[in-house]
Structure 1
Amino acid sequence: MPALIAHRGFAGDHPENTLGAFRAAAGTAAMLELDVRRCGSGEVVVFHDAELGRVTGRRGAVAETPYDVLADCEVLDSGEGVPLLADVFAAVPPSVGVNVELKTVDVAADAAELAAAASHDVVVSSFRPDALRAVAGVADDLPLAHLFLPEADDPIGRARSLGCDYLHPPKAVADADLVEAAHDRGLGVNAWTVKTPAEATRLVAAGVDGLIADHGDVLG
């Protein structure tokens, strides 16, 4: 059975990318998936969007907002502020893995240092090849994952050229042929973003290694 990976802490079940979501998801998921950016005062924060609006109702860019302000924001009526990546590692058991997705290149080196120092099994993923290269330059033993969109050309070749251990395809293109080809090149395959049991069933049949899912019950 594929590993269950909690997308933003099972964003369909809990307020995304919050410590509460990660603590709750750690009870059922093999791994947590989260997004990181650098905030205006330099810290590595866990936040998906470039702008604050959708998640906090406030105006402004994460990259221009200091951490004391982000900590005071409320994320999706959770009663929680925006967490630091270091806080997530401290909050969840080391037995639960963490997939750190780099949203920007400038955060890669600091995120890699935090990941390398953690007791958890960590995979670092990104759509940005330069971000993955930056990680390799800081911590060359951290497993890397190449995220890509459906229209990407030769994602397996790109993943191999970047020294990746994993391919993270969108669920629409994660079929048995892609999985077999990735496995033949030594890549694990974790598909995103799974929302229903029907999607999970198809991807299990395709042979994926992990399901990056919005709900904790997609595998039944």
Structure 2
Amino acid sequence: MTPSLPKEFMQRPIAHRALHDKADKRPENSLAAVQAAMDAGYGVEIDLQLTSDGRAMVFHDYDMTRLTGQSGPIRQISSDEAAAVTLLHSDDESIPSLQDVLELIDGKVPLLIEFKDQDGAMGKGIGPLEQDAIRALEGYDGPLALMSFNPNSVAELARLAPHVPRGIVTSSYDPKEWLLPADICDQLRDIPDFDRVGASFISHEVHDLDRPRVAELKAQGVPILCWTVRSVEQEAEARKVADNVTFEGYLAAYSG
């Protein structure tokens, strides 16, 4: 039986890569950004990437340059090396491990974890990232959901942790915006894998919420999250379809 998305994921706006703000020395996916989101009563969304020693680190990009000033893929350094890299726009924030974030949140707010595609083409070259994350999540108690753009990753999460809600991150898959072959974009665009992978929800691109397939899933009672909302006005429009928003760059309304 597919696990249901906890109701908390529809009640609290979700801070995209946590509540980051360069001006306040809170880089995206940093512990400082996570703490700020918790202090504000928001849910937290984070990204996972894999290191050379097979550990799940909380980091968005494949290459480290934009976020650390150090070039090269995070996958080519160890978790200890990653933990020693200082994030830009911070005093001493380094790349946290998933375990670091779990210990900080400790079930206090909803945690939405995105697994970045490790295959490179949304294929079946996945496994180690999912395995290490599920190992870290063993015994975690609190509102939790997992997701990935790669449906094969979602299927692996269903196999490894069938009790944890999982979803597909979905998009218009405009080939001009994706480093993917057009046929793969065409295949993924209408979310054909939802039932196959035992998904509990989708998180859909905010500019594409009028897609018929999104309406079809919503009519079936599937929770619809969306990414990434960047203004009060955009949030109001998105909520005409989406049950909740993943936001950044402003403070989403929340009365807790």
Q: TM-score, normalised by structure 2?
A: 0.78
Q: Are 2:30 and 1:18 aligned?
A: yes
Q: Please report the RMSD computed on the Cα atoms of aligned residues, expressed in angstroms.
A: 2.0
Q: 1:95 aligns with which of 103, 108, 132?
A: 108
- Aligned with 2:157: secondary structure? helix
User: What pairs up with 1:153-192 in 2 under 5 angstroms?
Assistant: 153-155=189-191, 157-175=192-210, 180-192=215-227
79, 94, 111: which one pairs with 1:81? 94
Contact 1:89 1:120 in 2 (8 A): no
Q: What residue number does 1:217 align with? A: 251
Q: Once the two structures are aligned, what percentage of the paired residues are identical?
A: 24
Secondary structure of the residue aligned to 1:169 is strand
What is the TM-score of this pair, normalised by structure 1?
Answer: 0.90
Deviations 1:67-94 (A, max 9, x none): 2221111112222110010110101241
Aligned residues of 1:149 and 1:169 also touching (Cα < 8 A) = yes
Given candidates 156, 159, 174, the residue that maps to 1:134 is 156
In structure 1, what residue type is equivalent to 2:17? R
Query: Structure 1 pair 176/134, CA: closer, same or farther in 2 (3 Å)?
Result: closer
Q: CA deviation at 1:178?
A: 5.4
What letter corresponds to residue 87 of structure 1 in structure 2? D
Structure 2's unaligned 5+ residue stretches are 1-9, 119-125, 174-187
1:63 aligns with 2:85: no
How do 1:201-216 and structure 2 match up within 5 A? 201-206=236-241, 208-215=242-249
Q: How does 1:143-158 map to 2 (within 5 A)?
A: 143-151=165-173, 152-155=188-191, 157-158=192-193
Count of residue correspondences: 218
Paired letter, 2:238: L
- Shift of residue 176 of structure 1? 8.6
**Where does residue 107 of structure 1 map in the other structure?**
129
Q: Deviations over 1:95-148 (max 9, x none)?
A: 201111111333012212323421121111101111111111111011011112
C-alpha distance in 1, partners of 2:57/2:103?
A: 14
Q: Which moved more, 1:87-96 or 1:47-56?
A: 87-96
Asked if 2 retains the 8 angstrom alpha-carbon contact of 1:6 and 1:29, the reply is no
Structure 1 residue ranges without an equivalent (≥5): none
Distance 1:100 1:49, change over 3 A: same
Which 4+ residue blocks in structure 1 deviate beyond 3 angstroms?
11-14, 175-180
- Tell me the CA shift for residue 2 of structure 1: 5.4
- State the Cα deviation string for residues 179-211 of structure 1 (Å, max 9, x = none): 5422222311110001111100101223x1110
